Amino acid sequence: MAELKIIKMSDIRPQPVDWLWEPYIPSGAITLIQGDGGTGKTTVSLSIAAALTRGKALPNGSTPIPSNVIIQNAEDSYTQTIRPRLEAMGADCEKIHVICEEEKALSLSDERIEETIIRTNAKLCLLDPVQAYFGNANMNSANGVRPLMKKLGSVAARHDCAVLLVGHLHKKAGKAQYAGLGSIDIFAAARSVLTLGCTNIDENIHAIIQNKSNLAPAGKPQAFGLDTISGFTWMGDCDVTIDELLGKPKKPESQFARARRLLETTLAHESVPAADIMQMAEEQGISQKTLHRAKDALGVISVKQGAKWFWVLPIEVEYTEVSQDGQHSQEHHSEDSHGNNVTTLTALSILPEKIAEGVR
């Protein structure tokens, strides 16, 4: 039995996070980069390695010190694929090292990983794909994954080396954290998770989204070009969601949300006859009940001008909470003969200029 040792939290000294690529890849920790085949995850990983060997800054990142890198790839040929790609990216191949697996296949728990990090003083260790390096452990089992990931994370922390695991996605629908092939514990052990996919902008424009970030606020999605003519190029910040990258259909906008949007856009600069708004709502498939719910939520008031009722969106209104019995302390709701919800307010400070005179 191990000797009991208790440490006071006050004795633990906080340490700042070091970054290989802030905030996407922390040093001394595990980062998972995942995507479907053909989305560029290996190419992006190699470009990160190539930049590090030359001390080149990555998008929105600081300029690193040129450093050694370890690259292990179980799917592509080092002679026909990996080295040619690295050279095309301008990498210093003298700073890139590979652990020979001719006699024994490498696994995440292999002592040779730490030995190589120590000997080369590597600042990045790339394992592609991670699913190939679980050895005899069951990658779909928490009991199989957790010990390996914990040990690998400890190695990374001891030597301030960023470990970048490249992972495949399965085809099942669901949340992004469950999209990776293997146990959810792979996702859980990573301090940062980068998901790659195609955008709907162009078939040659892909993007990276940081959909997990434990050590800093998540970075902005990064676009990159990937085609046979111009090769790989970073393209900067982009506006894309994780669902779009994973090819999931957008959730349809709710009827209530459509009703709110209708009122916000229609009443933004002027009052509009209530009958006209009701007609617009009907044409958009919005029920009268939902329209009035949105009207109440936005604080829209009904104002009679001549023989017509108009709906007005106040710019500033003093609202009060509705008590449990439905009574209002500072406002009164009533309904006219036309079904308009008429609100009497004690403090109506500003109305849109175009209808201010008519209300007064």
What is the CATH code of the structural domain delimited by 15-245? 3.40.50.300
The structure tokens listed for 284 are 């958009």
Q: pLDDT tens-digit profile of 180-238?
A: 556 788 999 999 999 998 887 778 899 999 999 999 999 999 999 988 777 899 999 99
Q: How far apart are CA 72 and CA 129, in angstroms?
A: 9
Interval 76-100 mean pLDDT: 96
Specify the fold of 255-359: Arc Repressor Mutant, subunit A (1.10.10)
Strand order of the β-sheet with 272-273 is 272-273, 308-312, 301-305
The structure tokens listed for 167 are 């992972």
Q: How far apart are CA 307 and CA 331, in angstroms?
A: 24
How are the residues of the chain apportioned to helix, strand and coil, as percentages rounded to the nearest 5? 30, 25, 45
* Whether pLDDT at 318 is above 60: no
Query: Is 25 exposed, middle or buried, given 0-12, 13-18 or 19+ CB atoms closer than 10 A?
Result: buried
* Whether pLDDT at 137 is above 80: yes
The fraction of the chain above a pLDDT of 70, given in percent, is 82
Q: pLDDT tens-digit profile of 255-294?
A: 888 899 899 888 888 889 999 999 999 989 999 999 999 9
The whole-number pLDDT of residue 316 equals: 44
15-245 and 255-359 have identical folds: no
Is 256:293 a contact under the CB 8 Å cutoff?
yes
More confident residue, 62 or 126: 126
* Whether pLDDT at 326 is above 50: no
DSSP string, 95-155: GEE----SSS---TT-HHHHHHHHHHT-SEEEEE-GGGG-TTS-TTSHHHHHHHHHHHHHH
Q: Return the domain boundaries, the chain.
A: 15-245, 255-359
* Whether pLDDT at 328 is above 80: no
Residue carrying structure tokens 């020979």: 100
Q: How far apart are CA 256 and CA 261, in angstroms?
A: 9
Does this model's pTM top 0.85? My answer is no
228, amino acid identity? T
Interval 142-148 mean pLDDT: 90
